Amino acid sequence: MKSANICIGRPVLLTSEDGKQEVCTAWPIAGFSGGKIGLSGITQKNLVVKPGDVVTVQPVVGAVVQAEEIYVKLSAVCRMGKDCKRNFFHRDKDTCVNAEELSACLLINLGIPPPRGVLLYGPPGTGKTMIARAVANEVGAHVSIINGPEILSKFYGETEARLRQIFAEASQCCPSIIFIDELDALCPKREGAQNEVEKRVVASLLTLMDGIGSEGSEGQLLVLGATNRPHALDPALRRPGRFDKEIEIGVPNAQDRLDILSKLLHQVPHLLTGTELVQLADSAHGYVGADLAALCKEAGLYALRRALGKQTNLLDSEVAGSVMITFNDFLQGMNDVRPSAMREVAIDVPKVSWSDIGGLDNVKLKLKQAVEWPFKHPESFIRMGIQPPKGVLLYGPPGCSKTMIAKALANESGLNFLAVKGPELMNKYVGESERAVREIFRKARAVAPSILFFDEIDALAVERGSSSGAGNVADRVLAQLLTEIDGIEQLKDVTILAATNRPDMIDKALMRPGRLDRIIYIPLPDETTRQEIFKLQFQSMPISDEVCLKELVLHTHKYSGAEITAVCREAALLALQEDMQAKCIMRKHFQQALTIVRPRIPDSLIQFYSNYHQESGLHAL
């Protein structure tokens, strides 16, 4: 600042490359090297510049301001009553016609009645209300907004009277749009209504919508409805002539997320490159518009904390000019802001990576082929003309890292991960278990691409005919599961991952190609795998030099991965039992631990898995 003859706290003149100028106050900001300055968001907007643009800075030596006082005489102001009608004469009605009027006239001349209602439905936060307001602004129509829960009244007939009043006002101010938000709260199914008020409200709305156009206003009045529960609406509302059009506002894809982020960050000071913005949009699986807005806000808070952490005595104007959101701020924000549809089922996926699992390289490769490749290289699958696998089944003896492999796959793939335990879906009430299966698949579709993990699936997909009980609940649950995986409604961008140690109990229909395509056997660890498991355990344990790794590998034949981990833990406890201040684990501690922790998987069970692996014809998979 000294070399540029700029004094702290004095005004400076900023000039952009296209000649726009702005006078600001100069303050020193840490973190900006020579030749770089930080500008507040308002200053960037006034100069029409963004990070990286060139700005000329000059000290303001003196300034002469000429002020002139002007008196403005206001025109008379009147207040419009409810009974007044508005006519706009800013154009010649005889010679001009807009596209909306022309389209309505063409439809009427062709004998096609214009639509009376449009229903927008989709998950919460996708922008249904914003789209409705944007439509009203674009066409320049009079807008009446009805919030479903707010219009309901406890007094008899008041809700219906309010509805009639809104429709009457809208018909007098054509062209008009009546927007009903949260329509399901106002018009639920009449057969499930709790009281007579809801039934009367539905009947009143049906009558009012049928009356649209009866007074010569056909095509000039439109009812827009928004809901995230379309199946909860009364069926009479959804027939043609009322809500003629139903438009789904779904979860945005990667390109949509990129467009939304670009809009949200348009006037936000940030340092994201185009590549980082694309990477951020690709990794935000299942995020809707509201989630992305919350993510930007959270990233801004992280950037603000970082700026205040460096210098706590800055003024508000100085802080505004020094805060720049980075890519790391967004990555931190994604840990706090989860997709809306995942909040009911979201679980904390442990930070388990492939390197935390010893050996099993062939299993890891098969899982990457089935889950990661279709999402990371979709063009290769299209080029080869093949469909990615729908499901993967992991089976093998207990303690062989089946669940841990699923956790590592969820973490490494970066996809949304939904975990389901088979017994948790079973319910004693008729139909509740099937409803739980439908609901979990609906949530998986909403946050696609995703992984749906069924642990202990043998409890959920028991072979049909083997269960006994009232109504054969297990058979109905299995039928629902088969329908969801391979039914009429396509299961797109959702991979089923299941684990079991009793593959013989699973119904054969679930294990055919097209459902669980890849069936992978997780055997007991061999010598190489046991050595890798011991190395992973030793990384966080103080081991004496006298401990021989090869000796431990030879003495743990028929041990599972969980049992090897138990041996290491038991050896550490024995060392502490001998001396609470012990600094390392000795060879004798491991020898004692091997006598305490014995392999618990019987030879008969190992032979069963080996026979099943060969007889099922799945050994090639």
Q: How far is CA 175 from the centre of its chain?
A: 38
**Secondary structure in 3-state letters for 578-595:** HCCCCCCECHHHHHHHHH
Please report the sign of the dihedral spanned by the C-alpha atoms of residue 19, residue 22, residue 25, residue 30. negative
The residues, any chain, with a CB within 8 Å of residue 89's CB and separated by 6 or more, are: none
Give the pLDDT confidence score for residue 111 in this predicted structure: 56
Domain 2-59 has CATH 2.60.40.1930: no
Q: Which CATH superfamily is domain 104-248 in?
A: P-loop containing nucleotide triphosphate hydrolases (3.40.50.300)
Which has more pLDDT, 127 or 98?
Answer: 127
Do residues 221 and 176 lie in contact, with contact meaning Cβ atoms separated by under 8 Å?
Answer: yes
Strands 55-59 and 117-121: unpaired
- Cα–Cα distance between 363 and 398 in angstroms, integer? 16
Q: What is d(CA 567, CA 552) in angstroms, rounded to the nearest whole number?
A: 10
pLDDT band at 303 (very low <50, low <70, confident <90, very high): confident
pLDDT interval class at 620 (50, 70, 90)? very low
For the stretch 529-552, pLDDT in tens is 888 888 888 888 888 888 888 888
Which CATH superfamily hosts domain 354-521?
Answer: P-loop containing nucleotide triphosphate hydrolases (3.40.50.300)
Contacts of 621 (CB under 8 A, 6+ apart): 366, 518, 519, 520
pTM: 0.59
Asked if 295 contacts 287 with a C-beta cutoff of 8 angstroms, the reply is yes
**16 with 55: CB under 8 angstroms?**
yes
- Unique residue bearing structure tokens 């991979």: 495
- Which CATH fold would you assign to the domain 527-600? Helicase, Ruva Protein; domain 3 (1.10.8)
Please tell me the distance from the alpha carbon of residue 446 to that of residue 251, in angstroms, as a whole number: 7
Domain boundaries, the chain: 2-59, 104-248, 254-342, 354-521, 527-600
CA angle in degrees (0–180, nearest 5) for 150-156-160: 55
pLDDT, residue 96, reads 42
Q: Do 254-342 and 527-600 agree at the fold level?
A: yes
Q: Which contacts qualify for 600-608: CB closer than 8 Å, 24 or more apart?
A: 600/563, 601/397, 601/398, 601/399, 601/524, 601/558, 601/560, 605/397, 606/397, 606/524, 606/558
Whole-number Å distance between alpha carbons of 101 and 387: 48
Asked if pLDDT for residue 215 goes beyond 60, the answer is: no
For residue 87, pLDDT beyond 80: no
Give, to the nearest 10 degrees, the angle between helix 196-210 and helix 158-172.
20
The domain defined by 254-342 folds into Helicase, Ruva Protein; domain 3 (1.10.8)
The per-residue pLDDT for 348 is: 53
What are 153-186's pLDDT values in tens digits? 767 778 888 888 888 888 887 778 888 888 888 8
* Cα torsion angle, 95, 99, 100, 101, sign: positive
